[in-house]
Structure 1
């Protein structure tokens, strides 16, 4: 088991680390990005506070909800009300752009590198920022996809046209009954393609992305690889955090970089190969970008 060392944002050491990150990315043979919810939060996709209050005042007034995420698991009495909530939720988190340029800044840092992205985020921000979809593995699903709730078959369905209709046509916290989605095979209600339990559908696209990820990892395991972890918390460390630690430990040529506002920890076992930056991700990426700009000026 790895033992963690917390890092803090402090004057000289912070700027030294920004410079080190710039150098590591610049000299890397490849960059493997591991992204969690903190990255989207830094980009402005917050799930509580003003953004939640502006978009869901009626649901807050009726149920006393405090954040978008927990409200999504509420047992609504009807599918019409459930999809009134979820259609708004999906619309603002999948079909609207993030308020801040964090994903674009990240793309500009790695666009000319041999990169791949492993993410638990389901908001499609990477593709909207220009990342190659063949270099992305969304392990936990996609807000833009539906699946059978049973599920009776392993296929997913794009939901954009119907979601936009639901948002436009809902009244009094309900969508028209004819817009409630049902499985075209068995007739059961559709559900979101999000990994919440054992009904999650891993469709053909999911498996192809998983294969591409494994090919990238195995093809670079002995090279000068930067494992760049951004905004990953402790809920599912076995997907990104622990594998990144392990791969860094097994490869003396690798570097592990963790940027996280509250959880920028590095394991003692790979401290020599690691850089931890406790800062807002968008702010840190701006500082790194500026260092690149200074070099080319």
Structure 2
């Protein structure tokens, strides 16, 4: 997660419709809020024995001693009510769509509306089949509705599209990392 941010994209221009590994949410469903977890992740990594290199990237130490556990006091809790927290990921009906999510969703849908008849590339990188109604099926429908649109899917063993949009599609069944490395070369 956050690969687009790491590559320099402005976070305010991104929409994580399926959630964000960089956020926690309370297990208390009455709290419809998310909480940034970057500081906690850094402390947890250090508590396990990982060390940062000169670029701030965590590495396994030379002696290979990683603890694979954190102290009890580092178990994350909700800052509002002390309840347990989980990752903000759409895996069931407890997913929190907070104010930031709704703001990003509105911006995304405004963008789609503004460009619905333009030359658009619907780029799908590694989208699995768990929840196709969120990304995959809408991309297919928008491609079908706009003859100037192109659907591109890069996914290991899961890159395909309906016959109705095949002429507007580029489906690459390959490892994303390998393909992106080749594009950089």
Same fold flag (TM > 0.5): yes
1:267–1:167 CA distance, 2 compared to 1 (3 A): same
For residue 183 of structure 1, the aligned residue among 78, 82, 94 is 78
**DSSP-derived class of the 2:15 partner:** strand
**Once the 2 structures are TM-superposed, how far is the Cα of residue 145 of structure 1 from its aligned partner?**
1.5
2:40 maps to: 162
Task: State the TM-score, normalizing by the size of structure 1.
Answer: 0.51
CA distance in 1, matches of 2:96, 2:43: 25
1:202 maps to: 97
Relative contact order (alpha carbons < 8 A, sep ≥ 6): 1 or 2 greater?
1
Residue pairs, 1:1-297, within 5 angstroms = 123-169=1-47, 174-288=69-183
**Once the 2 structures are TM-superposed, how far is the Cα of residue 224 of structure 1 from its aligned partner?**
1.1
Q: Determine which structure has the larger helix proportion and give its number.
A: 1
Alpha-carbon displacement from aligned partner over 1:116-150 (angstroms, at most 9, x marks no partner): xxxxxxx2111011122222111122222122111
1:152, 1:186 within 8 Å by CA — same for their partners in 2?
A: no
CA distance in 2, matches of 1:288, 1:141: 28
Q: Which runs of 5+ in 1 are unaligned?
A: 1-122, 291-297
CA distance in 2, matches of 1:129, 1:190: 28
**DSSP-derived class of the 1:137 partner:** coil
CA distance in 2, matches of 1:226, 1:214: 15
1:150, 1:199 within 8 Å by CA — same for their partners in 2?
A: no
1:128–1:180 CA distance, 2 compared to 1 (3 A): same
1:253–1:174 CA distance, 2 compared to 1 (3 A): closer
Q: Which runs of 5+ in 2 are unaligned?
A: 50-66
**How many residue pairs were aligned?**
168
